[in-house]
Amino acid sequence: MSNPLYTHLLAPHRSSDAPFLTLPAGETVSYAQFHQRCGQFAQVLIDMGAKPGDRIAAQVHKSADVLALYGGCVMAGLVFLPLNPAYTVAELDYFVANSGARVLVCDPANAAGLADMAARNKAMLVTMSTDRTGTLCDLAQGCTPLATVEARKPDDLAAILYTSGTTGRPKGAMLSQRNLLSNAQALTGLWQFTKDDHLIHALPVFHTHGLFVATNITLLTGGSMAFMPRFDLDAVIAALPHATTMMGVPTFYTRLLADARLTKSATSNMRLFISGSAPLLADTHRQFTDRTGHRILERYGMTETNMSTSNPYDGERRPGTVGLPLPDVEAKVCDATGQELPRGEVGTLEVRGDNVFQGYWQMPDKTAAELRADGFFITGDLAVMAQDGYVTIVGRGKDLIIAGGLNIYPKEVEEVIDAHPDVVESAVVGVPHPDLGEAAVAVVVPKGGAQLGPDMLQPSLDAALARFKHPRKVIMIDALPRNTMGKVQKAALRDTYKDCFAT
């Protein structure tokens, strides 16, 4: 049997009583218990008729069982498809239909509302709650774990994660066993993770950061995680003295810095704080060092590429930069044709390596537009590479807002607002936000004579979009600024409203 992810992440500690997860109530999940649960989910899914390569979509709240479901998919050769619990039924419908998911796992509270959609898409609907109940959990409870793990080749798919684009519908990034394993191995070595590490895990588990970077590294080393349902400042501060590492988005760090309990002594047991998913301000980096003595290690990645660059463990962690390409990852700053630019010039970052995904699920045209024939992936991030190889992300070539580490595609929000009968047009822009880094502002032109208050857009937004995508502010104006070509000047709007969240 060959199944690289199983062999490296799950098999080595399968009989170990060492803790894998510590949960908020003080309960622990040992490696042996986790392995058993993975095997039970694998067997239940197979009994339901799932075949290797089938997609298993899960829109559930964070729990130990979600990770076991991921492990179960690995064991049964299934493709795990995690989805943000904040998504509306309309958003979910697209993901289930596009992926052709065989099974949709949802929270019991949502089952009735999703039944029609699941049936229409021919997906079997089962439930999982955070307290280990629900139809899937109940079936797993009494089930004998899968005895023979499904064979998988390195290029077989392990997961699909949807990521939006600046145009069109979200695209399913196909991640292979090789993509996930190679990245976990590279990061483990680079960041010197061992079985003695105890990682504060306060991230969601429906994205690369919390699901793959944090979890796969821990599984690979046999270390443990303080597994929290969400980022709760009090819980994270209480966990610091017992932990050795934390991974977070910049908002975690700004919230910690705003609390006087973040001190040198509170963090004296910690060896490493890692930040990513959005730009960490150099100022935040410096303030954190001044307060705690720790230099936050910033790294850079994407759903399509896993992690591509990182500041070093030993050596200079340069504030404002995302460090150097990972071992065996090539990174270059290019012009629009893919021609590498001289060091110091701004261009688009392209990356190549085992970390780079297999393409977009059933979207060959979109794959071809972003993944070059020679294997380089066009990230859409604007970057500069210094003479010594350090990469700085200076902007985005794509129209994207990253709020608290979550991506908001303005186009998707504008389409919903523009469909309102009293709206002529709108522009959604990201502006600085003290907590989230960036936040979305909608600038809306109402139809002449229409009495359109900002709240009147709410029903349309509620029906279509997860709440984290809703604009934090709606501003009505008479006309959008346009250049001579008639293009909306988003830069001007960003400038006009740059202080609207200033404290």
Binding site for ligand MCA (CB under 6 A): 203-204, 207-210, 230-231, 249, 251, 276-277, 301-303, 403-406, 436, 467-468
| Nearest distance, CB of residue 250 and ligand AMP, angstroms | 8
Q: Does 381 bind ligand AMP (CB under 6 A)?
A: yes
Among 379, 408, 469, 471, binds ligand AMP (CB under 6 A): 379
Between strands 245-248 and 198-201, the pairing is parallel
* Chain mean position to CA 237: 23
Q: Are 110 and 126 in contact (CB under 8 A)?
A: no
Sequence-ordered list of residues with C-beta below 8 angstroms from that of 364, at least 6 positions apart, any chain:
none
Between residue 391 and residue 410, which ones bind ligand AMP under the rule CB under 6 A? 393, 396, 402, 407
Q: Which two tokens stand for residue 491?
A: 């830069």
CB 301, CB 213: distance < 8 Å: yes
Query: Do 333 and 341 touch, CB atoms closer than 8 A?
Result: yes
DSSP states of 9-63 as a string?
IISTTTT--SEEEE-TTS-EEEHHHHHHHHHHHHHHHHHTT--TT-EEEEE----
Q: Find the residue with minimal CB distance to ligand MCA.
A: 404
Express the helix, strand and coil content of the chain in percent, nearest 5 each: 30, 25, 40
**Rounded to 5°, angle at Cα 395 from 391 and 401:** 125
| Binding partner selected for residue 231 from ligand MCA, ligand AMP, none, CB under the kind-specific 5 to 8 Å limit | ligand MCA
Residue 310, contacted partner among ligand AMP, ligand MCA, none, CB below 5-8 A by kind: none
| 153 vs 4: CA distance, rounded Å | 7
Are the C-beta atoms of 312 and 322 separated by less than 8 Å? no
The answer to whether the beta carbons of residues 322 and 310 sit under 8 Å apart is yes
Nearest approach, Cβ of 428 to ligand MCA (angstroms)?
A: 13
Contact pattern for ligand AMP over residues 302 through 331, marking x by CB under 6 A? xx------------------x---------
Task: Report the residue number, 375 or 395, with the smaller CB distance to ligand AMP.
Answer: 395
Cα–Cα distance, 387 to 32 (Å, whole number): 48
By C-alpha distance, which of 126, 88, 118 is closest to 101? 118
Closer by beta carbon to ligand MCA, 46 or else 351: 351
Considering only 19, 170, 279, 347, the residue that binds ligand AMP (CB under 6 A) is 279
Contact 55, 81 (CB under 8 A): yes
**Distance in Å, CB of 267 to ligand MCA, minimum:** 19
Pick 385 or 403: Cβ nearer ligand MCA: 403
Single out the residue of 30, 163, 166, 287 in contact with ligand AMP (rule: CB under 6 A).
163
Q: CA-CA distance, 456 to 450, in Å (whole number)?
A: 11
Q: Which partner, ligand AMP, ligand MCA, none, binds residue 150 by CB below 5 to 8 Å per kind?
A: none
Residue 393 contact among ligand AMP, ligand MCA, none, beta carbon within 5 to 8 Å by kind: ligand AMP
Based on CB atoms, which residue is closest to ligand MCA, 62 or 178?
A: 62
Stretch binding ligand AMP (CB under 6 A), from 84-92, 213-221, 296-304, 491-499: 296-304
Closest distance between ligand MCA and the C-beta of residue 342, in Å? 27
The item of ligand MCA, ligand AMP, none sharing an interface with residue 404, based on CB under 5 to 8 Å by kind, is ligand MCA
How far, in Å, CA of 443 to CA of 122, rounded? 40
Contacts with ligand AMP by CB under 6 A lie at 163, 208, 276-279, 298, 300-303, 322, 379, 381, 393, 396, 402, 407
